[in-house]
Structure 1
Amino acid sequence: MDHFERLSRRHNFISKLSAAFFYALAVAVALNFFWHPGKIYASGVTGFSQVLESLSSRYLPFTLTTSSMYFVLNIPLFILGWLKIGKKFTLFTIIAVILASIMMKLIAPIKLSYDPIICAIFGGVVNGVGTGIALKSGISTGGIDVLGIILRRKTGKSFGQINIFFNLIIVICAGFVFGWTRALYTALNIFINGRVIDAVYTQHQKMQVIIVTEHPTEIVEQIQEKMHRGITILHDAEGAYSHNEKTVLITIIDRYDMYDIYNIVSKNDPYAFMSMSEVSKIYGRFIEQKPV
């Protein structure tokens, strides 16, 4: 048993480390291949780091590079993550940020397109995929991610929505520095980035599941054992066609639990009826999965 536990921990560590490396590569490619050439600001701390680089190159005798400022601006957020989220989570966040800072510096800028719209679209997609995979693996990419995770727990808002809200100030900065046409491209990039993050990182998406079954006991036991979800049980339901007595089960799950609950229901009652619908807001007690 200890052997399997060690293997599981090692696999978990390698998975998180791989996600951190993939994110670092994705943000560096997005920055040096699309955002810098297209004069477009990124979202979050990366965008603020670009703002500082632009302002320092114009008004200071030295330039604060995006790669160095990305790390510096994340330091206070490391402390916040350590205190509010978790130590292991924050350690992998630090690894992701360090790798990203190094990649931003090492990967040489290449102008793949002169079209700022193409730069905005591809930059947002590449970075959004990298960020979403990192979050899905239980690590953060620093900056707005840390604030987003904390606020998502408090408000129930999607991560992409929080990300877009915090980045409005970057759009304004892009307008003053590069012109309001570039601000439009920056807004497009941030919007695409947020939507891609939401598409990849589905933990925050909740589903309401309604199950009509003649074998509720086994289904309830396995859902609670495997998924640790509360269930509302409605007895004495009647099927209109067969007039058999049935039980209705209602529960809320994370989207990535859909496959598990489908297998539980189909295994215990192949003739059960089950429907799922996305939930926009939840009030009351719901256990949010914590990063590990």
Structure 2
Amino acid sequence: MTRKAPLVKRLKFIVSRWAKKFGLLDTLRSISKEKYAEKFSASLFYGLMSSIAVNFFFQPGHVYSSGATGLAQVISAISERWLGFTIPVSVAFYAINLPLLVLAWYQIGRKFTIFTFITVTVSSVFIQFMPHVVLTPDPLINAIFGGLVMGTGVGFALKSRISSGGTDIVSLTIRKKTGRDVGSISLMVNGAIMIFAGLLFGWQYALYSMITIFVSSRVTDALFTKQKKMQAMIVTSHPERVTRKIHKILHRGVTCINDAEGTYNHEKKAVLITIITREEYSDFKYLMSKADPEAFVSVAENVHVMGRFVDMD
């Protein structure tokens, strides 16, 4: 016990020094303020959905999923065919995500990466131990419903501020730089993976896999509303009050046009223009009901923004 004590103390010192160097301790302290239950529940939900998609639809139907999951399926099939042993999909999925988690740590955020690591780990465990069930041999049905289940898991994960890993990390990194939609980027990246799968295993199943990718990306975009931008134009007699509420609640900027005149009553009012996300729309309606319930508000959906627009954490 006496000899082990200095060694344990030394190891604690090394771990503490590296954690401090990479900012891990500060990150963990900040995470303690967040809703652990919501994020961990989202991780469990994604793990369950991904394991059902892989073991109930993709593997039995010989359909390849999108992103890291699809690449893991390809690696597993290659190992079984050419190496004489099978690398489990769960192991390949976990190995693919490790370098991407390093990318996420530096390019997206530390809290995001920690919860993504939890999600990837949970998903790998679920895929490994979820039994394989053949619901139908029809590859088209497997492609559609597998994509629906997987897209639901990915969408809810992103909605809870966590990622399922894989190409989600690549997509979010690119979206951070370009502002393009996550689903569209994933569709292009995963198309390249499906070409590779088609060359190896046959174009019939690669085409079915493209259906899976399309369904999954559309469901993801439908659920992950944070990336959808909306423009609100507000005609109000109380511009300062409305602007103050938008700044305080939504933390968004506002452009104000003073001395606008209505052609019916010739009243002088102000026109306010702000850009929000679809996720913030409910809060926007609430603050408008409090700030100026008599204001005229026009909202345009799916607007494209050029310039600086900050995605809130």
Q: Look at both structures and tell me which one has the larger radius of gyration over its CA atoms.
A: 2
Residue pairs, 1:201-280, within 5 angstroms: 201-280=224-303
State the partner residue of 1:110: 133
State the partner residue of 2:185: 162
**Residue 109 (structure 2) aligned to one of 86, 93, 97:** 86
State the partner residue of 1:58: 81
User: How many equivalent residue pairs?
Assistant: 284
State the partner residue of 1:178: 201
- Any conservation in 2 of the 1:209–1:252 contact (CA below 8 Å)? yes
Q: Distance in 2 between matches of 1:141 and 1:270?
A: 41
State the partner residue of 1:76: 99
- Any conservation in 2 of the 1:41–1:170 contact (CA below 8 Å)? no
Segments ≥4 residues shifted beyond 4 Å? 8-11
Letter in 2 for 1:45: A
Deviation at 1:261, TM superposition (A): 1.3
1:127 aligns with 2:150: yes
Cα distance, 1:33–1:10 mapped onto 2, change above 3 Å:
farther
State the partner residue of 2:306: 283
Unmatched 5+ residue regions in structure 2? 1-28
State the partner residue of 2:223: 200
- Any conservation in 2 of the 1:174–1:186 contact (CA below 8 Å)? no
> What TM-score comes out, normalization by structure 1 length?
0.94
Deviation at 1:55, TM superposition (A): 1.0
**Residue 136 (structure 1) aligned to one of 154, 159, 178:** 159
Letter in 1 for 2:268: E
Cα distance, 1:148–1:275 mapped onto 2, change above 3 Å:
same
Deviation at 1:176, TM superposition (A): 2.4
Q: Distance in 2 between matches of 1:11 and 1:76?
A: 26
Deviation at 1:170, TM superposition (A): 2.1
Q: Distance in 2 between matches of 1:130 and 1:167?
A: 17
Q: Distance in 2 between matches of 1:10 and 1:137?
A: 15
Q: Deviations over 1:34-72 (max 9, x none)?
A: 001111000000000001111111111211111100000
Unmatched 5+ residue regions in structure 1? 1-5
Helix, strand or coil at the partner of 1:203? helix
Q: Deviations over 1:260-279 (max 9, x none)?
A: 11122222222211111124
Deviation at 1:185, TM superposition (A): 0.8
Helix, strand or coil at the partner of 2:35? helix
Q: Distance in 2 between matches of 1:68 and 1:185?
A: 24
Q: Distance in 2 between matches of 1:257 and 1:10?
A: 21
Residue identity (%): 44
Q: Distance in 1 between matches of 2:128 and 2:287?
A: 49
Deviation at 1:177, TM superposition (A): 3.3
Alignment RMSD (CA, Å): 1.5
Q: Distance in 1 between matches of 2:118 and 2:34?
A: 17
Q: Distance in 1 between matches of 2:223 and 2:308?
A: 26
- Which protein, 1 or 2, shows the higher relative CO under an 8 Å CA cutoff with sep ≥ 6? 1
1:33 aligns with 2:56: yes
> What TM-score comes out, normalization by structure 2 length?
0.87
Q: Deviations over 1:241-262 (max 9, x none)?
A: 2221111000100111111111
- Any conservation in 1 of the 2:46–2:123 contact (CA below 8 Å)? yes
Letter in 2 for 1:168: G
State the partner residue of 1:149: 172
Q: Deviations over 1:125-150 (max 9, x none)?
A: 11111111111111111111111111
The more displaced of 181-190 and 165-174 is: 165-174
- Any conservation in 2 of the 1:216–1:247 contact (CA below 8 Å)? yes
Q: Distance in 2 between matches of 1:118 and 1:10?
A: 43
Deviation at 1:184, TM superposition (A): 1.3
Q: Distance in 2 between matches of 1:26 and 1:165?
A: 23
